[in-house]
Amino acid sequence: MTNETTRTYDVIVIGAGPVGENVAERARAAGLSTVIIERELIGGECSFWACDPSKALLRPVVARADASRVPGLDPAVAGPLDVDAVLAHRDKMSSYWKDEDQVDWLNSAGVDLIRGHGRLTGPKKVAVQTAEGDTINLTARHAVAVSTGTRAALPPIPGYDTVRPWTSREATTATKAPGRLAIVGGGVVAVEMATAWQALGSQVTMLVLENGLLERMEPFAGDLVTEGLREAGVDIRFNTTATFMTREDGEVRITLSDGSELAADEILLATGRAPQTRDVGLQSVGLTPGDWLTVDDTFQVTGVDGGWLYAVGDVNRRALMTHQGKYQARIAGAVIGARANNEPVDTAPWGAHVATADHSAVPQVVFTTPEVASVGLTSREIEHSGRRIKVVDYDLAQIAGAHQYGEDYRGHARMLIDTDQGTVAGITFAGPGVGELVHSATIAVSGEVPLNRLWHAVPAFPTLGEIWLRLLETHRG
Ligand SMILES: Cc1cc2nc3c(=O)[nH]c(=O)nc-3n(C[C@H](O)[C@H](O)[C@H](O)COP(=O)(O)OP(=O)(O)OC[C@H]3O[C@@H](n4cnc5c(N)ncnc54)[C@H](O)[C@@H]3O)c2cc1C
Ligand SMILES: NC(=O)c1ccc[n+]([C@@H]2O[C@H](COP(=O)([O-])OP(=O)(O)OC[C@H]3O[C@@H](n4cnc5c(N)ncnc54)[C@H](O)[C@@H]3O)[C@@H](O)[C@H]2O)c1
């Protein structure tokens, strides 16, 4: 027999990925009774099928590439990676796909957890279907936050549904390297997984629709990553896609857009993300199932009366990254708390209750060899930015810190200066070790630090941070 129960909370959060967890924790910290609903593992995509396992696969690859540039150390890293050890480390970093630690954290934060599938059933109403077939009907006094994230968006290439393709989930959790791995896509997932699996023993072939990799970033970043992947042995085919695929005799046979054929043991479709909103009851509140949820800067969903529905994290499509989603969660939790407690809401730009950084200061690191790190505007976006921008370039290989970092250092940096404001509007670094530079850039961009003051921020010698001084000198002529 199945049961039906009813409960009321101040705040209901659907989806316990990194973002939902933080919305719930912040709402609870504001004194609101809070429940979170999760149908899979607490920690979501990031902990178990995305950031954590992928970075665990990539760390040995990046560390080995760095070490191989250091005289005296290079012979020690000349051999292949210990694949079993790397995969075991990946399993550990994914907590062996168990979520007890996150459950403990939710408990310590005072957030209630219900395991099951959550659906909106009307304004401030959510029904949870549990695995046992029970239904728990919830009512929110103040807010419902949807943080249901995304899934892999699969392209409608004929045959794709018959070949059991890899998505990012299989690419991050596979237990052995396929002999031949074809990857469709040239975005972040594609380049990171090509880097990892080529180093772990696969022969990777990338099929890229565009004429370069990482098309949303500065072109030099894609060029340097292309160079790195090709040197590692990856076969990259630009302006190419798959037009048909079939699995025969255990292998995937792929017809390419130029008419040629490619055989692979596995095919990874790294072709973007789709919102997990098909089955969360959006129709019950006048929204369309399957759509991204559009929000204002306080994360209230537009088109829903009463201001009770929030969408936070990947599902609102503002910035599909964990750190940015968690920033959104801190803001959303605080504003839900302020509204519920009748406290002042600060919606001025950079105020406590608006996610201003989503528009102008989103950092990202791509963990390839070489790494790419960026924040803010890129030169591709200048035209639509409505700002007067000066582009300053510098060859990273010319700085002393790069010489110390490793021999044959190759890298590049680009700074975009808002000439009216006299501040940095965006910056991109590509080169070994640049991932750790990104937060300095994020502070400069989000803090709108005047260039005259940046001139007094002295980089330690000899570090990669010297790139700041060289970029500023180049700007000053
Ligand atoms: C391969 C890969 C690597 C990545 N690497 C990085 C990285 O290095 N750094 C970075 O910043 N970002 C990275 N990302 C992006 C990052 O994973 C996402 O931005 C992040 O997971 C978004 O968090 P979220 O909480 O919004 O959604 P998710 O992590 O997707 O969590 C959503 C949760 O909601 C649950 N859910 C969905 N529907 C329901 C429902 N109806 N009822 C109950 N529960 C539901 C899901 O089960 C899931 O647990 C990577 C992504 C991929 C694919
Ligand atoms: N290190 C990180 O921060 C990190 C790592 C991985 C993923 N992520 C996040 O995950 C998100 C998703 O990454 P992604 O690489 O899946 O998406 P993406 O949007 O970055 O790239 C998608 C790629 O698929 C191609 N594509 C789309 N449809 C196609 C089709 N029908 N046929 C052939 N090619 C097609 C596109 O041309 C593009 O090259 C990113 O927005 C990123 O923010 C972040």
- Please state the rounded mean pLDDT for residues 441-460: 98
Which residue type is seen at 238?
Answer: F
Whether residues 141 and 164 share a domain: the answer is: no
- Please state the rounded mean pLDDT for residues 23-47: 98
Decide if pLDDT at 126 tops 80: yes
Domain count along the chain: 3
Whether residues 284 and 396 share a domain: the answer is: no
Question: Which pair of structure tokens corresponds to residue 221?
Answer: 């970043």
Percent of the chain at pLDDT exceeding 70: 100
Structural domain contains residue 69: no
CA of 365 to the centre of ligand 2 (A): 14
| pLDDT score for 398 | 97
Question: Sign (positive/negative) of CA torsion 445, 450, 452, 455?
Answer: negative
Structural domain contains residue 183: yes
Question: Where does the pLDDT of residue 96 fall: very low under 50, low under 70, confident under 90, or very high at 90 and above?
Answer: very high
Secondary element (H or E) of residue 268? strand 266-269
| pLDDT score for 4 | 86
SS3 476: helix
How far is Cα 15 from Cα 8, in angstroms, rounded to an integer? 18
- Please state the rounded mean pLDDT for residues 114-130: 98
281-317 residue pLDDT tens: 999 999 999 999 999 999 999 999 999 999 999 999 9
Structural domain contains residue 279: yes
Of 326, 357, 388, the last residue of a domain is 357
pTM of the model: 0.97
CATH code of the domain in which 436 resides = 3.30.390.30
Nearest CA to ligand 1 atom 17: 46
Whether residues 105 and 207 share a domain: the answer is: no
CATH code of the domain in which 30 resides = 3.50.50.60
ipTM of the complex: 0.98
Structural domain contains residue 67: no
CA of 126 to the centre of ligand 1 (A): 21
Question: Which pair of structure tokens corresponds to residue 89?
Answer: 């480390």
Structural domain contains residue 302: yes
Of 251, 271, 291, the last residue of a domain is 271
Of 357, 381, 403, the last residue of a domain is 357
Intra-chain end-to-end CA distance of the chain, in Å: 78
> 322, 326, 366: which to mutate for ligand 1, most atoms within 8 A of CB?
322
Task: Give residue 228's domain range.
Answer: 160-271
Structural domain contains residue 61: no
| pLDDT score for 206 | 98
Whether residues 124 and 24 share a domain: the answer is: yes
CA torsion angle for 309, 313, 317, 322 (degrees, to 10)? 180
Nearest CA to ligand 2 atom 4: 188
338-367 residue pLDDT tens: 999 999 999 999 999 999 999 999 999 999
Question: Which pair of structure tokens corresponds to residue 319?
Answer: 């910035």
Structural domain contains residue 81: no
The residue behind tokens 């608006």 is: 354
Whether residues 246 and 314 share a domain: the answer is: no
